[in-house]
A and B are shown apart, each in its own frame.
Chain A
């Protein structure tokens, strides 16, 4: 009997262990430069939407990242009384032209079009989490899995949002 129990236990443990080890890993890419960027400060609190910095997000495949110039649009003047602000401005002025460059987390055989999903009414926060949630200085803390795509495409998630069922055949997102 006790061996039976042991076997069952081993079975379960093995399953969950292997699942944990082999599951799709979150790919985290550090941004260059030591500027801790806080999405929360730049989001709704000052009435900006993501597309102000991620200029492609509303209508193109890639969301893109702001260039130094884009940052400087606002940071030309000291914006707050916060003592850290000079440090930030000087860091910015020293930063290279494209401070934010990161590796795409999307596998090469997967197609994802940001604009398409924006047009379909999907909010950035639906996949990337709200500006408060996004970790400082991190990218891709989210665990994007094919399952999460499929769930939404086949209408399992976001019932309330009235999304249309989307294609789930391989050719829709893979090449």
Chain B
């Protein structure tokens, strides 16, 4: 039965070697040295509510990356790895040019999943493992994933990462954050916009202050916390006094051309207006 339903087994951490943090830092430096080409950006208006049936009219979470402030130091990548227990990639993977990093540098600017409101990856996922939340997150349900990699093939910006190796057994994974489960071999993963933080924040508020509408105010993703230049701003696009809207109001917003008409929640900021 464990064999048949192996997909539901927990990663067995006993005895597996756990990498040092230094190794993660080294890999981030390596990834920075192999940064991908810059996106061809096009200007877009500020994201509004999702136009999907059943979408939330209160919350749509997203981020804005300030291209003027960012100097591509890569601290966000490391922070993301530690928040989300992202494993190191094996030698073979690196040679194939693949890292598990959810954030990658594209021409000196960080790029993660853009959480498209009309996400192509979700349309083609056969099992429904990739699905959307009403508040604008493109989530990944690891236990439901069968690893067909259709989503990866259909992501225009290649934000999706596939667990080619069993990172736990290989001693490449480290559970920095007990709140986030480790992913098993053969599963797709990508930036979750720190879903766990959103969930915890929401649940605590709804339990202790019932009746108060949850707008996710005061919340930050790991990358935006870690950014020394404060170039990554997380917030709620539908909340006028969220730092995101406050900042994005008088900036020009850009997204990669490939996804310009897919209504992304994560955008780049450049120049003032």
Which residues in chain A, 77-127, are within 8 Å of chain B measured between CB atoms?
Answer: 107-109, 111, 113, 115-116, 118-120
A-contact bits for B100-138, CB 8 A (1 contact / 0 none)? 000000000000000000000000000011011110010
* In the assembled complex, B19 has its CB within 8 A of some CB on chain A: no
Asked if A175 contacts B203 (CB within 8 A), the reply is: no
Asked if A59 contacts B133 (CB within 8 A), the reply is: no
* In the assembled complex, A174 has its CB within 8 A of some CB on chain B: yes
Asked if B131 contacts A170 (CB within 8 A), the reply is: yes
Knowing A108-B10, A170-B141 touch, does A118 contact B180 (C-beta < 8 A)?
Answer: no
Which of B21-29, B206-214, B236-244 lines the interface with chain A? B206-214
* In the assembled complex, B234 has its CB within 8 A of some CB on chain A: no
- Separation of A169 and B192 alpha carbons in the complex (Å): 15
Closest to A167 in B: B134
A-contact bits for B189-201, CB 8 A (1 contact / 0 none)? 0001001100110
Asked if A169 contacts B203 (CB within 8 A), the reply is: no
Closest to A60 in B: B207
* Residues of chain B lying within 8 A (CB to CB) of residue A118: 207
Distance (Å) between the CB of A112 and the closest chain B CB? 9
- Separation of A113 and B214 alpha carbons in the complex (Å): 16
Q: Which of B5, B132, B137, B195 contacts A22 (CB 8 A)?
A: B5
Asked if A115 contacts B203 (CB within 8 A), the reply is: yes
- Separation of A175 and B208 alpha carbons in the complex (Å): 22
Interface magnitude class on chain A: 20 to 34
Distance (Å) between the CB of B64 and the closest chain A CB? 22
Knowing A22-B1, A22-B5, A108-B181 touch, does A171 contact B207 (C-beta < 8 A)?
Answer: no
Asked if B207 contacts A59 (CB within 8 A), the reply is: yes
B-contact bits for A139-175, CB 8 A (1 contact / 0 none)? 0000000000000000000000000000101111011
Q: How many A-B residue pairs have CB under 8 A?
A: 71
* Residues of chain A lying within 8 A (CB to CB) of residue B10: 107-108
Knowing A169-B132, A171-B131 touch, does A116 contact B207 (C-beta < 8 A)?
Answer: yes
Q: Which of B129, B131, B133, B208 contacts A115 (CB 8 A)?
A: B208
Q: Which residue, A22, A60, A115, A170, has most C-beta atoms of chain B within 10 A?
A: A170
* Residues of chain A lying within 8 A (CB to CB) of residue B1: 21-22
* Residues of chain A lying within 8 A (CB to CB) of residue B137: 171
Asked if B207 contacts A170 (CB within 8 A), the reply is: no
A-contact bits for B205-245, CB 8 A (1 contact / 0 none)? 01110100000000000000000000000000000000000
* Residues of chain B lying within 8 A (CB to CB) of residue A170: 128-129, 131, 133, 139, 141, 144
* Residues of chain B lying within 8 A (CB to CB) of residue A17: none
- Separation of A60 and B128 alpha carbons in the complex (Å): 30
Closest to B192 in A: A175
Q: Which of A115, A120, A175 contacts B196 (CB 8 A)?
A: A175
Asked if B207 contacts A174 (CB within 8 A), the reply is: no
- Separation of A115 and B206 alpha carbons in the complex (Å): 8
Q: List 30 A-B contacts (CB under 8 A).
A: A21-B1, A22-B4, A59-B207, A60-B207, A61-B203, A107-B8, A109-B181, A113-B206, A113-B207, A115-B204, A115-B207, A116-B207, A119-B206, A120-B210, A169-B132, A170-B129, A170-B131, A170-B133, A170-B141, A171-B131, A171-B137, A171-B139, A171-B195, A171-B199, A172-B133, A172-B199, A175-B181, A175-B192, A175-B196, A175-B199
Instruction: List 20 additional contacts besides A119-B210, A169-B133, A175-B181; criterion CB under 8 Å.
Output: A22-B5, A59-B208, A60-B207, A61-B203, A109-B143, A113-B204, A113-B206, A115-B204, A115-B207, A115-B208, A120-B210, A170-B133, A170-B144, A171-B131, A171-B132, A172-B133, A174-B141, A174-B143, A175-B180, A175-B195
Give A residues with C-beta under 8 Å from B.
21-22, 59-61, 107-109, 111, 113, 115-116, 118-120, 167, 169-172, 174-175
Give B residues with C-beta under 8 Å from A.
1, 4-5, 8, 10, 128-129, 131-134, 137, 139, 141-144, 179-181, 192, 195-196, 199-200, 203-204, 206-208, 210
